[in-house]
Amino acid sequence: MKFAVVTFGCRVNQADSHRIEEELQARGATSTPSGEADLVIVNTCSVTATADQGARQTVRRIARENPAAKIVMTGCYATRSPDELAALPGVALVIPNERKHRTLPLLEDAGLTTAQRFSDGEGACGASIEPGFAGRTTFTLRVQTGCEQRCAYCIIPSTRGRGRSLPVAEVLREALRASAAGFREIMLTGVHLGSYGRDLQPTASLLELLQALDSLPGDVRYRLSSLEPMDCTPAIVDLVCRAGSRFAPHFHLPLQHASDRMLREMRRPYTLAAYSALVRGIVDRLPHASIGSDVIVGFPGETGADFERNAEYLAGSPLSHLHVFPYSDRPGTAASGMPGKLAGPVVRARGARIRGIGAELARRFQASQVGTVRPALTLEDGEVVVTDNYMKVRIPKGHRRNEQVHVRLTGFGAGHVVDSPSAG
């Protein structure tokens, strides 16, 4: 059987898709473009109306180009509006997030797959995927899902449910499995990563998990995905900053807004002063660290003064890149009922201005790194690397995917290998 998995949204969805692909491959199924697949699984996001629209457009395109394909919808949009997605052309099954971990049994129950292997190809059931499968070189490991933070704009608590963490021992087994399969970088992700372990008995913490991972054997680098500012503790920063750390000098710390009034309206539990001190403290200790952020523009009630405060802080900040989200009403959230909604053209203009600031921040960070030598991992065909501080750089031919190298950065997006400690 030929299958395709189409993923929208965050790294948590990417990790979920990774596991589904692995389970299908272990049964002997073959990954293929969606236009050629017998089965297409669409793993949706519902953070914005644009994400919803993209999922619908994708399903209609697949149904038009490959009318024989059985389409299965899962993810946050499938959880929020299952009937809406079930009515789309070609959709044979809708699986909500709380049942996503049982995707294969549910496919079997619906007659879309079989409990037997799909082919007589080589490889035992349960075989690990390898670097390069489905275009992935980094292993994305979801250690937590769900969120109880209840930010005013966010639909995720209702689509992902309460916070749930994988036990430490299970995370360590997965990390060892990824290392044994040949992965040299592991991205740790969660819906609310900083809440890791609070639901476990006995309780644990993200710091304890990171320390346990750090003690594992193997030549693997760990990278943290999005971490809420209030959860990025001094001890976690210390761990990343430590000499010889196995944790990449890369943080993603969502700010959302630089106006304290907007932060209160958004129900974000920190102030700009606290956020600024955190970011500045990291940069003071790790000048080469990459620090990204998420920013919302056009939140209900955002005044011109609020917006200018946002733009002023961001332009002068040490952040290295921005993800800019124009505010989008999500039914059922507190913000959807707030007064003071801004007109679309105003929101789009503000978004464009902040994206321009983000482009300048990225240019400034890249310029600061020219001439330095950074550890990196080769991607794709070996002619692209991602550095430990999260820059994609093109290098000359001569290397394979998934090699650990050291790269001298010679210009924006360009460099050359000066050392290949893991080649061969």
Closest CA to 194 of 155, 237, 161: 237
Tokens of 56: 């619908």
**Is residue 276 a contact partner of residue 309, using CB atoms and an 8 Å limit?**
no
Domains 137-248 and 251-369 belong to one CATH topology = yes
User: What is the structure's pLDDT at 121?
Assistant: 45
Closest CA to 375 of 245, 254, 260, 279: 245
Domains of the chain, by residue range, sit at 2-109, 137-248, 251-369, 373-419
Per CATH, which fold does 137-248 belong to?
Transcription Regulator spoIIAA (3.30.750)
Q: pTM of the full predicted structure? A: 0.90
Length of the chain: 424
Closest CA to 152 of 341, 305, 9, 300: 300
Q: Residues near 62 by Cβ (< 8 Å), separated by ≥ 6?
A: 6, 34, 35, 40, 42, 69, 71, 90
| Separation of alpha carbons 159 and 191, rounded Å | 11
User: What is the structure's pLDDT at 128?
Assistant: 54
User: What is the structure's pLDDT at 9?
Assistant: 83
**Pairing verdict, β 164-165 and 185-190:** unpaired
User: What is the structure's pLDDT at 134?
Assistant: 66
Strand partners for 175 = none
Burial 312-331 (b: 16+ CB within 10 A, else e): ebbeebbbbbbebbbbbbbe
| Separation of alpha carbons 392 and 55, rounded Å | 27
Q: How far is CA 161 from CA 145, 146, 192, 337, in A?
A: 8, 5, 11, 21
**Is residue 272 a contact partner of residue 258, using CB atoms and an 8 Å limit?**
yes
How crowded is the C-beta side of 307, counted as CA atoms within 13 Å? 21
Q: What angle do CA 342, 346, 349 make, to 5 degrees?
A: 145
Tokens of 114: 């079989």
**Helices marked H in 221-377:** 234-241, 260-266, 272-285, 304-316, 344-369
Q: The domain at 251-369 falls in which architecture?
A: 2-Layer Sandwich (3.30)
Instruction: Taking the CA atoms of 338, 342, 347 and 353 in sequence, report the sign of the dihedral they define.
Output: negative
Tokens of 264: 């209160």
* Residue type present at position 387: T
Q: Which helix (H) or strand (E) holds 108?
A: helix 103-109
Q: How far is CA 121 from CA 29, 104, 379, in A?
A: 9, 19, 27
Q: The domain at 373-419 falls in which architecture?
A: Beta Barrel (2.40)
Q: The domain at 2-109 falls in which architecture?
A: 3-Layer(aba) Sandwich (3.40)
pLDDT tens string, the chain, 424 residues long: the values are: 999 999 998 889 899 998 999 899 888 899 999 999 999 999 999 988 899 999 999 999 999 999 999 999 999 999 999 999 999 999 999 999 999 999 999 999 999 987 555 554 444 344 457 887 667 899 999 999 999 999 999 999 999 999 999 999 999 999 999 999 999 999 999 999 999 999 999 999 999 999 999 999 988 999 999 999 999 999 999 999 997 889 999 999 999 999 999 999 999 999 999 999 999 999 999 999 999 999 999 999 999 999 999 999 999 999 999 999 999 999 999 999 999 999 999 999 999 999 999 999 999 999 999 999 999 999 988 999 999 999 999 999 999 999 999 999 999 899 999 988 865 4
User: What is the structure's pLDDT at 113?
Assistant: 83
User: What is the structure's pLDDT at 321?
Assistant: 96
The order of strands in the sheet holding 70-75 is: 30-31, 2-7, 39-44, 70-75, 91-95
